Structure 1
Amino acid sequence: MYNTNMPGRNDLPTSRQLIRSTVVAMIVATLLLITTVLPAEYGIDPTGAGEVLGLTDMGRVKMALAEEMRAEKEIVAAMENAPVMSDYEVEAAQDSFASEEDVSAQEQSESALVLVDPIITKDEISIILDPGQGAEIKLTMNKGASVSYRWQSDGPVNVDVHGDPVNAPKDFYHGYGKGKNIAKSEGTITAAFDGKHGWFWRNRSDKTVKVVLETEGDYSEFKRVM
């Protein structure tokens, strides 16, 4: 049996050496935190080293994506919990809003949409979306009017096609379809009611994305609202 020799007192580190090693380790850890961890994870770069190493932009993108994800989850939760109304319920809600006695004539004129006779219109727009950014295009359409569309992007995006009626009730949501991580889509929207109908895109990637939308149909206004 082999017995190891116990280290002598002189072989053990002194208290001063232990304190010095601990201080050195703390200094190294603090430097790593300031120069790499904070810039890479949170976009905070007090020394400028993260910018030189290319870590600060990565941290800013992470924080922006995290914030956008929280906001998108809140929007999706609200949409999923919102009641989907039938055409009859939409018309009844519109009549109720129009007949409220506590709304002045001036407020009605400011909030009402101006809907003109439908005409065949064509439009095309290009939208640049930074990482985490969203954009929305709305067309003003009368009930029963149709528009054909085609959009494509050079990167995957999330899309929500929906409509808002005139004087929409609180928490109202009427969807025509959704897509996740797709790069193109085409089809036709037939307005379920008088109001605004269109597309909301969100760039969930870490690269800039270009979306091109083409439309043709019966609508009186083509507008980017976000």
Structure 2
Amino acid sequence: MYNSDTPTRAELPSSKQLLRSTILAAASALVLLVAVVLPAEYGIDPTGIGRVLRMTDMGEIKQQLAAEAAADAAAAPAAPAQVASTAVAMASANAAHPTAPAAVAAAPKIEWRDEMPVTLTPGEGTEIKLKMVQGAKAQYSWIVEGGEVNFDTHGDAPGKSISYEKGRGVAADEGVLEAAFTGNHGWYWRNRGQANVKVILRARGDYTDIKRMK
């Protein structure tokens, strides 16, 4: 009545074979998760393979975009109040400590080691990194001509990543960047405005290379 023959007991896989196949399948899935999914989706690269295959950069960008979108959505209603409170605080500080024109004029001019200008179209992002050893310090200053940007000051190395500072709608920033570990440390900017902007980065200090990553 049937077209196919019923397999004999000898033809059926044993319990040991089934267990071995299950273990091999689970191990393969774990390898794919660690080597491909985590770097490409979340920017987490414990093995360093994702950085070699350039999947970690894609994951980091995805996480940055997701964080920016969430931050924009959460902070949009509070933006006017925040701006108003900041303006009041600045006005009070200026009234209490008026700027001395003579002191400003006498400030020494900083001699920067590198200066890198980058033009960003609406929605475009870019990244500039310094190659630094652990504990090294680099002084920096960047300004935005024509608008404001969202930024993330961060560092990365095989199996390591850190975010030092983030901001939204910022027109300038300056300070000293100290490397938490040996690797690449720098800035990611994204233009969320409706017109082109120009970001100008100036830097000097303990780094061996400066490079625009993308």
TM-score under structure 2 length normalisation: 0.49
Instruction: State the structure with more CA Rg.
Output: 1
TM-score under structure 1 length normalisation: 0.46
